[in-house]
Amino acid sequence: MKVREAIAGAAIDLREARILLAEVCGFSQASLAASADEEIPFEAENAFRGLLEKRKKGVPVAYLLGRKEFYGLELAVNPSVLIPRPETELLVDLALERKPPSVLDLGTGSGAIALALKCHAKKTRVTATEADLSALATARRNATKLNLGIDFRHGRWFEPVAGERFELIVSNPPYVAEGDPHLKDLSFEPQAALVAGPDGLDCIRDIVAGAGAHLSPGGWLLLEHGLGQERAVRALFSDAAFASIATWPDLAGIPRVTGGRLHGKR
Ligand SMILES: C[S@@+](CC[C@H](N)C(=O)[O-])C[C@H]1O[C@@H](n2cnc3c(N)ncnc32)[C@H](O)[C@@H]1O
């Protein structure tokens, strides 16, 4: 079968079909485009059919490829970690603007936020916690591959950093409400990375409540959240006596990150 025929007959999104075919052929997208009339080797054709079957069942392309780009870094991903989302890059931008000497990333998953921060702020001490051991192993592999030194700790939110304080705490925690209809489109990703109680705010409540004991005076807490959660999240920050509370929109204009500053001077 020719490249052109394989793509036309794939019966999935054409862009995704090109990505998957290039992967099994070992081509770049440009070489694939230039090879439209080439015959596909038998093994590659079989592998392509296998990937198409999985994609038609809903497996995300990032899991099929085993990688996803985030903040210019190529990260290994697998079903134990959430696939890093482009909107989370806002959290990294806001964190880097603050030039903190030390950062704690809660619920690091693939390590996306912690690794992007370390890559762009080499002198910053970056610590990251994660409750899921398989996810933590993936984050550690990513750090090793990228040669970035992160202090990874296993455990729930602040448990692994008892008695320690940081200039900045960041997190993209689970924030989808139980029973949210969008969850059916996310069924291949770990539910523990997505769902946070009846209103989606259980993890954010825990993190805001615990952050004060782990921030240096004047330190910032920055949290990603979902569409329509910004008012409730700002109220949680306010109840916990944070100052300079603000919400920032992502590139789609959706209020995506809320932050606040602990009283005191840095
Ligand atoms: C939405 S994912 C974010 C992953 C990654 N930070 C990112 O932005 O792509 C949330 C992560 O928090 C982890 N998590 C959930 N509950 C946790 C807890 N109590 N303590 C630590 N990590 C937790 C999940 O396993 C998951 O990896």
pLDDT of residue 33: 87
pLDDT of residue 49: 96
Residue 174 C-alpha to ligand 1 middle, in angstroms? 6
Q: Is the pLDDT of residue 265 over 90?
A: no
Mean pLDDT calculated for residue range 95-107: 98
Q: Cβ(135) to ligand 1 under 6 A?
A: yes
How does the average pLDDT of the chain come out, rounded?
96
Q: Cβ(60) to ligand 1 under 6 A?
A: no
Q: Ligand 1: which of 108, 176, 229 to mutate, judged by most atoms within 8 Å of the beta carbon? A: 108
The protein residue whose alpha carbon is closest to atom 18 in ligand 1 is 156
pLDDT digits (tens, 9 = 90+) for 151-195: 999 999 999 999 999 999 999 999 999 999 999 999 999 999 999
Q: Is the pLDDT of residue 199 over 80?
A: yes
pLDDT of residue 36: 87
The protein residue whose alpha carbon is closest to atom 9 in ligand 1 is 84
pLDDT of residue 32: 87
Q: Which atom of ligand 1 is nearest to the CA of 171?
A: 6
The protein residue whose alpha carbon is closest to atom 6 in ligand 1 is 108
pLDDT of residue 266: 63
Residues 6+ apart with CB under 8 A from 110: 68, 70, 75, 76, 77, 81, 82, 83, 84, 135, 138, 139, 142
pLDDT digits (tens, 9 = 90+) for 246-263: 999 999 999 999 999 998
Q: Cβ(193) to ligand 1 under 6 A?
A: yes
The protein residue whose alpha carbon is closest to atom 25 in ligand 1 is 193
Q: Cβ(132) to ligand 1 under 6 A?
A: yes
Tokens coding 128: 């990251």
Q: Kindly report the pTM of this predicted structure.
A: 0.96
Mean pLDDT calculated for residue range 9-33: 92
- Convert 119-146 to b/e letters by CB count within 10 Å (16 or more is b): bebeebbbbbbbbbeebbbbbbebbeeb
For residues 28 and 91, the model is more confident at 91
The protein residue whose alpha carbon is closest to atom 11 in ligand 1 is 107
| CA–CA dist 210, 153 (Å, integer) | 17
